[in-house]
Amino acid sequence: MIDPLQRLRCPHCREGKLVPVEGALRCLTCAKISALENGIAALVADFGAHATELERARTINPLWYVEEQLPEATSPWRHHLKKRRLYVEKLLGNELKRRGTAKVPALLDLGCGDGNNLKWLSVYAETSYGCDYNLVRLARARAQNPQATIFLADILDFPAFDGSFDIIFFNHVIEHIRDDVRALQTVKRLLAPDGLLVLGTPNEGAGWWQFAYRRDPRSMETTDHVHFYTAETLTARMRAAGLVIEEVHHMGWGPPDWKLDGRIRKYKLVDDAFEWIGRALLPRQASSLYVAARPASVA
Ligand SMILES: [Zn+2]
């Protein structure tokens, strides 16, 4: 196993490798220091500007970025979250089989939040990484994943070398990023040549969920989503960023009412029934989309 720092690069010059020096990381090329904030490497070029930007986003909804993300065991959508996990585990299991290996060298949970997913993702890789742009969440991610390398990063100026990761899990992040094609280009840059991207996002461009927003206009005002994808609009963006789509999967059905949805789908029978009926009758109106993709080869 190689030193986890070998895959990360200096956020200042974007060239140098990082080495630990008392309480910080120093770039071997430009000698600039990246601070550790409560022990977490802050790999952004301007930490002050980064913190200001986060505070500004929080003025829209103070709970964003602070509220704990409920893990599968306690979420009202626990049965749905389990279906998601089983689907992703199947994809990753197939990937290991294809490679004939028990673990890939490196996995990145890009936008890992509180690190709930990294706990089960880490078994697929020798070295696992989790990053987010929010230190509050990263502190929780680190506490839950002491084996992983956890760092602060800006996806549009990402502090890792090209081709560093064999698997990237990019779950419920892209719908928050205005320049989504640029973010997807970053993912493509970070993937190893035969690396696998597993991307999850709400299928909120679908008529069923647009109807839910129209019925409850306040939910549209307070959402922090800036994109409302369907399988078609999402995969078009992914292709534009140089990714080759391997599989598109619709998952999760519910009533087009945000509050009612959480109340009734906590019951397994209800969640299973919606899944079964939805898949049969309204296959394109699921709540979640998962896409598996790889970087286009530069033949
Ligand atoms: Zn540097």
Q: Is residue 67 part of a domain?
A: no
Domain of 228 in residue numbering reads as 72-295
Nearest-angstrom CA–CA distance, 112 and 115:
5
- Please tell me the total count of domains within the chain: 1
Question: What distance in angstroms lies between residue 232's CA and the mean position of ligand 1's atoms?
Answer: 40
- 9: CA distance to ligand 1 center in Å? 8
Residue 28 lies in a domain: no
- Asked whether residue 45 is domain-assigned, the answer is no
Report DSSP state, residue 296: P
* Nearby residues for ligand 1 (ion, Cβ within 5 Å): 10, 12-13, 16, 27, 29-30
In a domain, 9, yes or no: no
Q: Is residue 36 domain-resident?
A: no
- Residue 34: CB atoms within 10 A of its CB come to 23
**pLDDT, block means (10 residues), the chain with 299 residues:** 90 96 95 92 92 81 75 86 95 98 98 96 98 93 96 96 98 94 97 97 82 76 83 97 97 83 86 88 90 87
How many Å from the N-terminal Cα to the C-terminal Cα in the chain?
30
C-alpha–C-alpha distance, residues 118 and 96, integer Å: 17
Residue 214 CA to ligand 1 center (angstroms) comes to: 48
Contact present, 265 and 77 (Cβ < 8 Å): yes
Structure tokens at 183: 């973010």
**Nearest Cα to 292, choosing from 147, 143, 95?**
95
Provide the CATH number for the domain around residue 288.
Answer: 3.40.50.150
Q: Are 241 and 184 in contact (CB under 8 A)?
A: yes
Give CA–CA dist 278/80, Å, rounded: 13
Q: Is residue 42 part of a domain?
A: no
**Does residue 99 form part of some domain?**
yes
Q: State in Å: Cα 49 to ligand 1 middle.
A: 18
Is residue 253 assigned to a domain? yes
